[in-house]
Amino acid sequence: MTIKEIQEEIIDEFSMFEDWMERYEYIIELGKSLPLINEAYKLDENLIKGCQSKVWLHSELKGDTIEFTADSDAILTKGIVALLLRVFSDQTPKAILDADTDFIDEIGLKEHLSPTRANGLVSMVKQIKMYAIAQQSKLAN
């Protein structure tokens, strides 16, 4: 699936919920289903700067796509990162760099987070894009 198709699927899923309590519960469930990150990647260099809670994000080039793994010590944040990985993992660096993140606004996520969590969300997206730039340069060589 393309990034856009995945984003549209997420928008459809969120539109099924009546209120934000149900959406939060759904995000928490996503976090519980996030595959465990290898403990070897829980390093300071993989911590996302600007997050209130600890979020580790690791990227690995698999062929011409990037596979992301992540973890967080906060259950809601873990769900948010699971949502982002669903969109961006197993995509090419170019697709990640070309992708917009309008779906975050369309599902109303940013406006329903505390300012520090919203900043953390922006930091996660920035880090995913930074990894895509780094991995794209490997492909170019």
Domain boundaries, position 51: 3-140
Contact 54, 72 (CB under 8 A): yes
Number of domains in the chain: 1
- Residues 127-137 have a mean pLDDT of 94
Q: What is the pLDDT of residue 111?
A: 87
The span from the CA of 25 to the CA of 96, in Å, is: 27
State the angle between helix axes of 3-15 and 75-88 in degrees (0 to 180), rounded to the nearest 10. Answer: 140
pLDDT tens, residue by residue, 77-122: 999 999 999 999 999 999 999 999 999 999 999 889 988 889 999 9
Contact 107, 79 (CB under 8 A): no
Query: 51, 107, 121, 124: which is the annotated catalytic residue?
Result: 51
Residue 13 belongs to domain with CATH number: 3.90.1010.10
Q: What is the pLDDT of residue 141?
A: 65
Q: Please provide the size of the chain in residues.
A: 141
Contact 68, 128 (CB under 8 A): yes
Q: Tell me what the pLDDT averaged over the chain comes to.
A: 94
Backbone angles phi, psi at 36, to 5 degrees: -65, 135
Q: Is 134 labeled as catalytic in the residue annotation?
A: no
The amino acid at residue 72 is: S
